[in-house]
Amino acid sequence: MADDAARGKSRYTEDDPRNFHRGLLAPRYWGTWLLLGFLSLVSILPRAWVMSFGAWIGDQFRKRNEKRRRIVEVNLGLCFPDLSVEERDAMLVEHFRAYGRCLLDMGLTLWCSERRLRQLVDLEGFEEHCRLVAERPVLIITWHFTAMEISALAASLVGPSVSMMKPMHNPVVTWAIARGRCHLQDVDLVTREAGMRPLIRGLRQGRQGFLLPDEDFGRRDPGVVFVPFFGVPRAMLTTPGRIARAARAVVVLCAGILDPSTGRYRVTFTPPLEGVDGSDPEADAVAICTAMEKLLLRAPEQYLWTFRWFQSRPDGEPGPYDPVPPR
């Protein structure tokens, strides 16, 4: 804790996911610790080796997990109907390979120095973003790209931040993700159960906000509206606009993309989205979704298509995954 204080980090609260406790060393978590140790060793290998090994891991995941493979097929069929079956199959293969590569890079997010991060990441729009954060409250929106952990770590380089995260079922994984997102800079982490107030308070105090609001929270959530995503209605939260209104913040997007030919990432920060201010929650959601589509099209295979993004339907009918139809 003394080192944290020396670097300007805030003291962890009792329920902070970065807190380390003896329970994390229980025998049932030893396999997780071995995996984290393995990922840490992988992080020092040549990038070409990591890219090749990660692609192999993704291929194994694709071949062995029929459920996730079928979810990807459904999502790609809904979002890219104009592509041929062969083109969508090629995108599916590359998606799982991108997933495997970014999984191996979890070791980087856990332990890398700022110098190492900057060696591997090209920051697009970063200087303009830093100037914006110095002038007014800024809420960063990112989605579940395969490179989202690298994006979160890169975004933390701006300075003091506040971020919301979802605890995992495995507390060691929760600890690892939390440490990865926060070990380079001063980041306050809040859980979803705490609600929006800590995020709004952090923004008002001058911290940059960081939010991943693209999960499907169901039709019954009062903060959900259905907006087009590649022409398909999708349940989206209106939370970003409401936070921006309460904190008088501007909203920017952030997305990370991995170039497998070089092993380098490009993390893009957009200018503020016009009109996203909470005055029209549905229009805010449409603007965010439309802008994110454009970023996603730079590398469409690197969105997490294994998620059930279209589970909730505006007409109340079952989602396209229950059961996942046979091909």
Domain presence at residue 319: no
Rounded average pLDDT over 78-96: 97
The answer to whether the predicted template modeling score (pTM) of the entire model surpasses 0.75 is yes
pLDDT digits (tens, 9 = 90+) for 275-285: 898 889 889 99
Count CA atoms closer than 13 A to 62's CA, side-chain side. 21
CA 51-305-170 angle, 5° bins: 80
Residue 223 has what pLDDT? 81
Domain presence at residue 310: no
Domain presence at residue 5: no
Q: Is the pLDDT of residue 145 over 70?
A: yes
Domain presence at residue 131: yes
* DSSP reduced 3-state for 268: strand
Residue 69 has what pLDDT? 96
Domain of 55?
24-302
Domain presence at residue 201: yes
For residues 39 and 138, what is the distance between their CA atoms, to the nearest angstrom? Answer: 33
Domain presence at residue 295: yes
For residues 293 and 316, what is the distance between their CA atoms, to the nearest angstrom? Answer: 25
Residue 180 has what pLDDT? 85
Residue 134 has what pLDDT? 95
For residues 241 and 219, what is the distance between their CA atoms, to the nearest angstrom? Answer: 19
Count CA atoms closer than 13 A to 23's CA, side-chain side. 7
Higher pLDDT, 323 or 256: 256
For residues 23 and 1, what is the distance between their CA atoms, to the nearest angstrom? Answer: 19
Q: What token pair was written down for 291?
A: 């802008």
How many domains does the structure of the chain reveal? Answer: 1
Domain presence at residue 95: yes
pLDDT digits (tens, 9 = 90+) for 111-123: 899 999 999 999 9
Q: Are 268 and 255 in contact (CB under 8 A)?
A: yes
Domain presence at residue 8: no
Work out the pLDDT band at 46, boundaries 50, 70, 90: very high
